[in-house]
Structure formats: structure tokens, C-alpha cells
Amino acid sequence: MKMLDLTHCITPEMPVYPGTEPPRLTAACTMEKDGFRETLLEMYSHTGTHMDAPAHMLPNGRTLDDFPAETFAGRGFVLDCRGAAEITLPMLRRQEEALRETEFLLFCTGWDRYWGQPRYYEGFPCLTTEAAEYVASLGLKGVGEDSISLDPCDTEDYPNHMILLGAGLVNTENLTGLEALVGKTFTFLTLPLKWEHADGSSCRAMAMLREEETR
């Protein structure tokens, strides 16, 4: 098997959602002073490649620590959305057979190429309402995207978050490298930290492919 890392590295200069403070990585202990290294990491729970729990948006939504571990791994499918203005129901319907066998639907918008640029925050394709409602009906474990959000950054009501998190799905944002998985069969792993009452968590996201799928 081959592992493909789909995770952005956490750095103090990384993009964060507008209005959020960037992470701080402080050397708490050093080799020179203490004989070992330890870092004080301070960041919001939705920093970098991260997972949204239903509790992120819903008053009575489930938190990540309440989900069983098997929630965070399963059959993945990448929908190629590059060049699209929005992600529509017909785009999904064309892949209906594959989606019925999928546990994680990942949207490849190509926006990860703008990571670190102002353009990363705007113009990325998002689901239409009818498309989001269709995705919510599929019985998935979760969705993910290589953009900063399921909804535009200037949204006021977060309709796609409300629909999909309301259906009990988890959502992994700020993925990278999804274009390498278009047309591939793979297992998606998205592993959040397990902390109490987690509304979200930075995570390590990966795809596991058979060697023949990488050729």
C-alpha cells in the first residue's frame, strides 16, 4: 500500500479563516537549556487541515470525541470540480453509482494551489443548496474539500455547513493534493485529536492506495 499525505503543514504564517488568529509555536524547552525539545502549540480548533464536528454549528450537535474511531476512515471518492463555478446536483448525479458505494466524498476544486495567497479566500466553488441536500441523503461518514470552507467566506448563514453537519457528517477542510486521487480507488483517513467536547480539530488526512493505483 502507498500513503498519500493530504495535509497542510502547520506554521505561524499559514492561512487561517478570516478573523481567526494564526497559530503560535513557541519553544518551551530547548536542547541547550533543558536537554530536550518541547513546543507550546497555541491555535484555534479549526486551524489548517481540520475537521468540523456537527457541534461546530449546531447547538445540540455531536462532538468529535463522541464519534467512534471508525468514523474517521472509509472508502473515498474524489469529485473533480476544477474549473466549475459551483458544485451542482447534475455533477453529482453523473457519479451516482460511485457515490452509493462511497463513505467520504471529497471535492477537488484545485484551490490548494492558492494556499498562502489572498485568492485562497475567495472564488472557490461551493455546493448549491440542492446539491448539499443530495449529499446529505447519501448516508456518508463525511465530506472534505481542498478549500477553506464548504461555504463562501462572506456567508452569513453557512447553508452547506448546516445541511451536512445537520445530517451528522464530519467535514475535513483545507485538504491538499486531491488531484492525484481523481479516478482512483482509495481509503481516506482523517484523524482528529481526541479532546473533550471537540467542536473541531486539526487532523492528519491521508489516502491509502494500492501500489497499482499510483501508476
pLDDT in single tens digits along all 215 residues of the chain: 899 999 999 999 999 999 999 999 999 999 999 999 999 999 999 999 999 999 999 999 999 999 999 999 999 999 999 999 999 999 999 999 999 999 999 999 999 999 999 999 999 999 999 999 999 999 999 999 999 999 999 999 999 999 999 999 999 999 999 999 999 999 999 999 999 999 999 999 999 998 766 66
Among residues 15, 8, 40, the alpha carbon closest in space to that of 26 is found at 40
Whole-model pTM? 0.95
- The rounded distance, in Å, linking the Cα atoms of 159 and 161 is 5
Bridging pattern class, strands 186-192 and 73-80 = antiparallel
E strand spans, the chain: 2-5, 24-29, 38-42, 50-52, 73-80, 104-108, 142-145, 170-173, 186-192, 200-209
**Using alpha carbons only, what angle is made at residue 87 by residues 86 and 92, rounded to the nearest 5 degrees?**
155
